């Protein structure tokens, strides 16, 4: 950029106005490029941070899925025991756990 | 690029085809035989010099660089993600080339630098665009992950609640298992419950008898005693088809309640009448006997009381001491409980009970009530070694009248 500024000054000194304007534009463009590069880096940094948070959430989701599966086994076992004892459990209230194929997917 | 450079290496304006052709024709008219080798060489140099004079100036460096980057991978990316900026750069590059064609080299160089900067600007803009897309996708993915986790948490709470509810129902159902479920019991478990029922019924019988010895009366006691009698008959069959354990437990609870009520009345009449601690201390100080206290009262256990068809010396001595003690504490009704080695020894139990009762009465006991519980309350299981010796015994119970 300094070289471009120098070329701008030289062109002005030589009376080459057209070239001087072009070199001035070059200087302006490189200033914009510096700001744009900074902006791109900042955006990439934000994206990386969010991706890391998402990865952590996915880990939590996997753990939650495992826990849910274990709890479902517990529930099924208790339900089977109740049925073996001849007891009909009350109907599941609305909003109860859906069937396994209706569960949210945790596939990564 | 190369094609473009080569096409621009000769300037038709400066070197028209006619002048080159004229020079070539003049050289061709010379007779080669008249020319020396040196002349031929000079001719060749003159032709090369003329051609060089006709060539144009090279592209300024920024223009060449702009041409190079315009075909790079980054340029292709910029064309996709920052098309306007890329077009502006292309326009500037073409301007630079046009200026070069017009031999305005200084301005062409500046325009080339402009084009180079414009390409870099397009690259930066495309990087921003890519980063923005990545950021948006990351935010979307995060939102989806949060929703999934939230849904799983809700499901987990629901399923956990269901599981706990069902487990509680199972526990309650097992605790209050109906008698009719006996068919579902394993034979071993059914037999274990029958043996436990026999023990409880025997305890119930002794507790009800203790209540009567404390002069308790009433329909409740009669009902409890009847229940015990019925149970003793049913348990005597040995069948496990019917689970009698719950009824036995009920019967024991009823008899204990009657005994407690009887004791309460006695205590109200004579608060100092119990003195069970004094009696327990007196018997314990003798040091010879196994003395303990339970729901029935203060109990002394005399093991292996028979030798052949008579009391052992040790049993005889113990019963004498206990008879004398009973004389000192006449307000404690004396209950003698006979335990046999196995079931079906009623005669032996009657004989043992009679011997022990006689011994107690002889020693001064005012009254003795005998009750045989057969083999309902064994010390050890009948299948184990020395079970017969250890299970046959008598218990002398000082029924505690107060609390």
Asked if residue B48 lies in contact with residue B24, where contact means CB atoms within 8 angstroms, the answer is no
Q: Is the model more confident about B385 or about B232?
A: B232
* DSSP 8-state code for residue B10: B
The rounded distance, in Å, linking the Cα atoms of B223 and B245 is 18
The rounded distance, in Å, linking the Cα atoms of A24 and B267 is 117
B177 interaction partners in chain A (CB closer than 8 Å): 85
Out of A72-86, B44-58, B339-353, pick the least confident: B44-58
pLDDT tens-digit readout, A26-56: 999 999 999 999 999 999 999 999 999 999 9
The rounded distance, in Å, linking the Cα atoms of B190 and B197 is 10
Statement: residue B27 has pLDDT above 80: no
Indicate yes or no: CB of A105 within 8 angstroms of CB of B148.
yes
Indicate yes or no: CB of A75 within 8 angstroms of CB of B124.
no
> From the list A43, A64, A87, which residue is nearest B152 (CB)?
A64
pLDDT tens-digit readout, A55-98: 999 999 999 999 999 999 989 988 888 887 788 776 554 444 44
> From the list B121, B132, B169, which residue is nearest A43 (CB)?
B132
Percent of chain B scoring above 90 in pLDDT: 45
- In chain B, the residue whose alpha carbon lies closest to the alpha carbon of A60 is B149
Residue B18 confidence (pLDDT): 37
Q: Is the model more confident about B183 or about B383?
A: B383
A11 interaction partners in chain B (CB closer than 8 Å): 106, 110
Q: Does B148 touch chain A (CB under 8 A)?
A: yes
Which uninterrupted H or E stretch holds B300? Answer: strand B297-303
The ipTM, to two decimals, is 0.78
Whole-prediction pTM value?
0.45
The rounded distance, in Å, linking the Cα atoms of B246 and B196 is 10
Mean pLDDT, residues B71-89? 95
Q: Which two tokens stand for residue B286?
A: 């003798």
> From the list A11, A37, A97, which residue is nearest B162 (CB)?
A97
Query: Which DSSP string do the residues of B223-258 spell out, in sequence order?
Result: HHHHHHHHHHHHHHH---SS--HHHHHHHHHHHHHH
Asked if residue B62 lies in contact with residue B113, where contact means CB atoms within 8 angstroms, the answer is yes
Per-residue confidence at B191, pLDDT binned at 50, 70, 90? confident
A18 interaction partners in chain B (CB closer than 8 Å): 107, 110
Q: Is the model more confident about B38 or about B363?
A: B363
The rounded distance, in Å, linking the Cα atoms of B394 and B373 is 10
Q: Which residue intervals of B238-312 are DSSP H helices?
A: 245-269, 276-286
Indicate yes or no: CB of A96 within 8 angstroms of CB of B146.
no
B328-338 core/surface letters (b: 16 or more CB in 10 A; e: else): ebebbbbbbbb
Residue B37 confidence (pLDDT): 47
The rounded distance, in Å, linking the Cα atoms of B328 and B155 is 74
Return the residue in A1, A6, A16, A78 with the most chain B beta carbons within 10 A, the one to mutate for interface testing. Answer: A78
Indicate yes or no: CB of A16 within 8 angstroms of CB of B118.
no
């Amino acid at each position: 950029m300094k070289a471009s500024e120098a070329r701008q000054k030289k062109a002005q000194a030589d009376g080459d106005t057209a070239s001087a304007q072009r070199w001035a534009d070059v200087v302006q463009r490189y200033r914009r490029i510096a700001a744009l590069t900074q902006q791109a880096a900042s955006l990439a940094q934000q994206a990386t941070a969010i991706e890391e948070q998402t990865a952590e959430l996915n880990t939590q989701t996997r753990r939650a899925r495992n826990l849910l599966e274990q709890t479902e086994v517990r529930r099924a076992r208790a339900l089977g025991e109740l049925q073996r004892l001849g007891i009909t459990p009350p109907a599941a209230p609305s909003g109860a756990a859906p069937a396994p194929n209706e569960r949210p997917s945790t596939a990564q | 690029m190369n094609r473009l450079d080569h096409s621009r290496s000769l300037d038709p304006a400066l070197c028209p085809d006619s002048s080159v052709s004229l020079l070539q024709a003049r050289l061709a008219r010379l007779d080669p035989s008249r020319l020396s080798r040196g002349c031929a060489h000079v001719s060749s140099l003159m032709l090369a010099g003329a051609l060089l004079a006709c060539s144009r100036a090279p592209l300024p460096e920024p223009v060449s660089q702009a041409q190079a980057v315009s075909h790079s991978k980054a340029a292709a990316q910029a064309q996709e993600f920052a098309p306007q900026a890329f077009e502006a750069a292309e326009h500037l590059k073409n301007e630079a080339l046009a200026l070069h064609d017009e031999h305005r080299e200084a301005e062409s160089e500046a325009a080339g630098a402009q084009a180079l900067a414009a390409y870099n600007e397009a690259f930066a803009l495309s990087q921003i665009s890519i980063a923005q897309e990545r950021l948006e996708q990351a935010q979307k993915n995060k939102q989806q992950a949060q929703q999934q986790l939230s849904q799983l948490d809700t499901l987990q709470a629901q399923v956990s609640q269901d599981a706990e509810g069902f487990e509680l129902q199972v526990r309650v159902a097992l605790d209050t298992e109906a008698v009719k479920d006996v068919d579902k019991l394993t034979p071993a478990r059914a037999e274990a419950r029958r043996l436990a029922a026999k023990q409880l019924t025997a305890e119930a019988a002794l507790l009800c008898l203790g209540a009567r010895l404390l002069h308790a009366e009433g329909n409740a006691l009669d009902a409890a005693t009847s229940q015990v009698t019925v149970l003793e008959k049913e348990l005597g069959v040995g069948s496990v088809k019917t689970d009698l354990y719950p009824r036995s437990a009920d019967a024991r609870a009823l008899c204990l309640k009657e005994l407690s009520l009887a004791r309460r009345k006695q205590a109200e009449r004579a608060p100092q009448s119990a003195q069970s601690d004094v009696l327990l201390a007196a018997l314990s100080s003798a040091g010879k006997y196994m003395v303990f206290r339970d729901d029935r009262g203060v109990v002394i256990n005399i093991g292996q009381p028979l030798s052949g068809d008579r009391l052992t010396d040790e049993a005889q001595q113990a019963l004498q001491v206990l008879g004398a003690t009973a004389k000192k504490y006449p307000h404690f009704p004396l209950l003698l409980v006979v335990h046999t080695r196995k079931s079906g020894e009623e005669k032996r139990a009657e004989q043992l009970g009679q011997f022990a009762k006689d011994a107690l009465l002889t020693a001064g006991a005012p009254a003795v009530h005998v009750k045989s519980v057969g083999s309902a309350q064994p010390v050890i299981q009948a299948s184990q070694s020395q079970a017969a010796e250890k299970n046959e015994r008598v218990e002398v119970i000082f029924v505690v009248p107060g609390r």
